[in-house]
Amino acid sequence: MFRIEAEVDKARQELLRNLLLDTNTAASPVLAALRGTPAEREVPLHVWALDPAGALAGGLVGHTWTAWLHVTYLWVDAAHRGTGLGSHLLARAEHLAGTDRACTAARLETWDFQAPAFYRKQGYEVVCEIPDYPPGITEYTLVKRLR
């Protein structure tokens, strides 16, 4: 019989992560080949836009892993939306990922009320659509080949 617990436990979380990593590495020659290489690590990639006063006008937070850029957040202040700043931030991140980190693709998630049309204009394609995540909202996963 097992004792089932439902609590936040950082030590078990790290242990579980490492056990899953080991299991996945044993099952996948691709992941096994990544072990111990620089491509195995997630490396942060941030791009910031500051106005003349130094205030944040927009920014992109993401990371690179293997040959992928993962865009986690992209935000532009309302006063600067429609000026091309979002496109510029995204293009800069894609350029850095492609040239400095040898990334060949990018991925991101967005909700239906956020920016799926914007990302499509930037060359991204929807590869996943999750309705009601959260209820009443659709989440999209989009990808783009960088080369």
143 phi/psi in degrees, rounded to 5: -135, 160
pLDDT range class, residue 40, cuts 50, 70, 90? confident
What's the maximum distance between 2 C-alpha atoms anywhere in the chain? Answer: 64
| Sequence ranges of the domains in the chain | 8-39, 42-145
pLDDT attached to residue 4: 92
Range of lowest pLDDT (30-34, 47-51, 106-110, 128-132): 30-34
Q: Is the pTM of this model over 0.75?
A: yes
pLDDT attached to residue 39: 80
User: Any idea which fold 42-145 has?
Assistant: Aminopeptidase (3.40.630)
Cα 3 to chain centroid, rounded:
36
**Residue 36 scores a pLDDT above 90:** no
Asked if 46 and 92 count as a contact pair (C-beta separation under 8 A), the reply is no
